[in-house]
Chain A
Amino acid sequence: MTQPLYILSACAISAQHTYDATRFLDPVLSVNDGKLFMIDADYARYISPVAIRRMSRMLKAGITAGMKCLEDAGVKTPDGIIIGSARGSVTDMQNFLKDMINMKEEALTPTAFIQSTYNSVNGWLAMMTKCTSYNQTYVHRGFSLELCLLDAQLMLAETTEKKYLLAGGFDELTDEYYIIRDKIGYYKKQMPESQALLNHYDTPGSIGGEGASFFTVTNDADKASCAIHGLQMLLQPTSEALQAAMADMLSQNGLKNEDIDVLVCGMNGDSRNHFLVDPLIATCADKTTIATFKQFSGEYDTASGFGLWLVNYLFVHSCIPTETVYKQGTSDEINNVLLCNITISGDATLVLVKRNSLAG
């Protein structure tokens, strides 16, 4: 990356108390049926009663997370909105398809169709913030969120003016969608308690999850607590390719393995990912703490958004929640954090985040 992407604020609505970060993992919310659904937030705070009545849960969560993120950053109208979603609003799509079948393609209601599109959240956020500038949606499975961050970084690199962008990702879980993904081997056959997911690395599959994670990103270093300095997306890499990409990213930033204070690892409990995760963990220095998050978020295409929210949390609170610690390192500082996400299909993403030393 040519210039850092500063994170000014972050907001996530997930299966844990992330919307109110003061309650994060207090208590840990766990399920035993493999479906980690989001906790509803205070949607009515941002969405009018007339609009909210026809919105699906995901639409409400996406809009609310985006609006709160901007509010926390003190930004009323962003200079652009860039959002990633692998599946869009699944509930609305299901309702529309069911309607098509039941009504034999006659007399179909418009609402579910209108709101099933991938860019519904973008559109609503643009209207609510009166943002008439750049508005982009990335639909690219496990890379959807990372492509948003890359696009934001490229956009901010083109200007010397201070600009503020809303970037984020969301994906939804429904009972029907769970059944479909289960048939293609996404989920474990013997479902463990979700918070114990990583103790079951000997069987294939993971657990289902959903969530919306948003970030106000900027080229203004003044108030951000951290910044993204490196971003890599790897399509079904070998273990060697993943480690080489990691070494390359660290080297470009003048860092070595032992400079990483925390590795936030998006391992998902799938035995088929062992060959990527185990060597990665083995290369970590003694000082590096390894933190994990998918036992709290569940697995979904933009789950790395939960991971990046956690990374921002570490910098803002200067502590690592003990519940997330997979391996305790010797370092008591949090200056360099590497987020590594592994998807069910074996793709990997790396995001290097450093403490912002320029914060005013």
Chain B
Amino acid sequence: MEDLKRTLKQLIIESLNLQGMKPEDIDDNASLFGDGLGLDSIDSLELMVLLERNYGIKIEDAREGRKILTSVQTMAEYIQQNTKAIS
């Protein structure tokens, strides 16, 4: 799980081009949107594509997506439960 979260943080930094940020700067439970990492709606689309490309997970339901994309912790838990492992 710890390895998964570290990889996920690195993927988030790369795909969202979070310049100057390192995986250790992102708290596992910090909110990705709003006051936490400050991501926006376009980033949420990028994160959904990230899950599809790297883990074969397709989020069809927007309400479910909001819960999954709450934090790195919730994303990692969902990936662990639903991995089809493309990469």
Question: Is B a genuine binding partner of A?
Answer: yes
15 contacts between A and B (CB under 8 A): A50-B38, A50-B40, A53-B16, A53-B19, A54-B16, A54-B42, A103-B53, A107-B53, A108-B49, A109-B46, A109-B49, A110-B42, A110-B46, A111-B46, A114-B42
Residues of chain B within 8 A of A106, CB atoms compared: 52
Considering residues B15, B38, B40, B53, which has the most beta carbons from chain A within 10 angstroms of its beta carbon? B53
| Size bracket of the B interface | 10 to 19
Q: Tally A-B pairs: CB < 8 A.
A: 26
Residues of chain B within 8 A of A114, CB atoms compared: 42
Nearest B residue to A106 via CB reads: B52
| Size bracket of the A interface | 10 to 19
With contact pairs A50-B38, A103-B53 given, residues A110 and B17 touching in the complex (Cβ less than 8 Å):
no
Interfacial residues, chain B to chain A (CB-CB below 8 A): 15-19, 38, 40, 42, 45-46, 49, 52-53
Q: Is the CB of B52 within 8 A of A107?
A: yes
**Interface SS majority for chain A:** loop
Q: Is the CB of B38 within 8 A of A53?
A: no
Known A109-B45, A111-B42; 20 more pairs at CB < 8 Å: A50-B38, A50-B40, A53-B17, A53-B18, A53-B19, A54-B17, A54-B42, A106-B52, A107-B49, A107-B52, A107-B53, A109-B15, A109-B46, A109-B49, A110-B42, A110-B45, A110-B46, A110-B49, A111-B46, A114-B42
- In the complex, A53→B18 CA distance in Å? 7
- In the complex, A107→B52 CA distance in Å? 7
Considering residues A53, A103, A106, which has the most beta carbons from chain B within 10 angstroms of its beta carbon? A53
